[in-house]
Amino acid sequence: MQKKLAAWFLSVTFLYVLVGTVIPRLQPDRFWSAALILFLDLVIGLSAAWLASKILTRRLRELASLASVISGGDLRRKVESGGQDETTELAVAINTMRENLLRIVEEVRATTAHINYSALSLSNASKEINASSEEITHTSEAIARGAEEQALEVEQITGITQQFAGTAEKVAGRSRDVHQMSSDASSRATEGGDDVGRAADSIAALSAQTERSHQAVKGFQGRASEIGKIVTVISSISHQTHLLAVNAAIEAVRAGEEGRGFAVVAEEVSRLADSVQELAGQISTISTELLDGAGTLAEEFQDSLSSAGEVKRLMEQSAMSFDSIIEAIRNTNSLSEEISGLTGDQDKAANEVARSLQRISAVATSNASGTEAAYAATRGQAESTGELAASAHELARASEHLQDLISVFKTGEPGPPDQPV
């Protein structure tokens, strides 16, 4: 610029010298010559000043216009930076400023877009986290209630188990009593079986004796039957004797006095025959009664034999039943002994379960406390997540505001560059 001004000044001075030299030669009159020189000098000075102002300020106006455009936010225009003067340096500085502003605006725009996207993602994530935190809060609350209920239930189960342990101990005692009673019953059943065996032997002996008596009664019945036959013979003989006595009496009557003694004898014989006949009738009656009694006795002995056989059979069944009872009692004794052992083991297991439930109750109580603490922490996290969502929303609003601020800058394709000075 200084060189241009110096050249311009020398050119104007040369014109002044040229006018001052040429005009006096062309106009001899000193007045008109001086007036013409003054007029031409004014014209040259004004023209030179106008041209200098026109030429020198045009570049500055272009730079001022570009600066005004840049200040308006349009970063697309670029000034030509050709030349060696100060305006060129100013143009280079303005272009550098424009490029820096353009880079800053692009970076700020990209950053705000990223911030906006991150804020939106953070807001969505915070909403999801908040929803999850609420679900976790409800779940933790439910778990806390469940843990408390579980602790109460475990405590109740512990009490029931302790009662069960006491009951198991009582059952073990009862099982031992049952075992002792089974042992006593087994001993008594063995004794009863022995008694039944002895009774069966006695019944068998009685049955044999009854059989012998039955045979004797049968023999007596046969003898009584023979007595009846003999009585029949005696009765027949007495009847014939009576007939003979009657015939003898008839013959004695026919004989008269000579047969009187014989008639007395015949009468005595007849009476004796009648007595024998009467006795034979009585004997026959007694024999019949004896036969009837012997028959009844034989039937009763037969019934006794049948009853004795039935009793023997029942006693044998009783003996077998006693054997079964003894075996069952022995099995019961063995089972009661096994039950007693199992009940003892059950008692130990119940006590162990009670102790385990007490430990579980302590753990459940601890879990309930931990769950309540987790529930409180989850609620605090939910509140923090809500604050984070609010901060993300504020960040998104700030990013949008920043985008609104930089939206005044135009960063598209640059327009046609200004012409160099």
Inter-residue contact 406 to 112 (CB < 8 Å)? yes
Task: Report which of 58, 52, 146 is spatially closest to residue 420, judged by C-alpha positions.
Answer: 58
Query: Tokens 């020398």 identify what position?
Result: 10
Residues counted in the chain:
421
Contact (Cβ atoms closer than 8 angstroms) between residue 94 and residue 66: yes
For residue 264, the Cα-to-chain-centroid distance in whole angstroms is 130
The burial of 66, by beta-carbon neighbours within 10 Å (0-12 exposed, 13-18 middle, 19 or more buried), is given as buried
d(CA 279, CA 273): 10
Q: What is the DSSP letter of 418?
A: B
Convert the pLDDT of each residue in 312-359 to its tens digit. Answer: 677 677 767 767 777 776 776 676 677 667 666 666 766 776 677 677
Looking at the predicted structure, is the pLDDT value of residue 276 above 60?
Answer: yes
Residues 252, 266 contacting (CB under 8 angstroms): yes
The neighbouring-strand residues paired with 83 are: none
Question: What pTM did the predictor assign?
Answer: 0.36
Q: For residues 24 and 5, what is the distance between their CA atoms, to the nearest angstrom?
A: 29
What average pLDDT score do residues 16-38 get? 75
pLDDT in tens, 382-406: 666 667 667 767 777 776 776 666 6
Please state, in angstroms and rounded to a whole number, the distance separating the CA atoms of residues 305 and 207. 6
User: Given pLDDT bands bounded at 50, 70 and 90, which one contains residue 121?
Assistant: confident
d(CA 191, CA 183): 12
What is the rounded average pLDDT for all residues in the chain?
Answer: 70
Q: How many CB atoms are closer than 10 A to CB 406?
A: 16
Q: What are 325's two structure tokens?
A: 């009872």
Residue with tokens 């960040």: 395
DSSP assignment of 240-252 equals HHHHHHHHHHHHH
State the pLDDT at residue 411.
63
Q: Which residue has the tokens 């475990």?
A: 154
| Residues 421 and 80 sit within 8 Å (Cβ to Cβ) | no
Q: Which helix (H) or strand (E) holds 303?
A: helix 260-406
For residue 281, pLDDT beyond 70: yes
**Side chain identity, residue 260:** R
Name residue, tokens 């008596």: 213
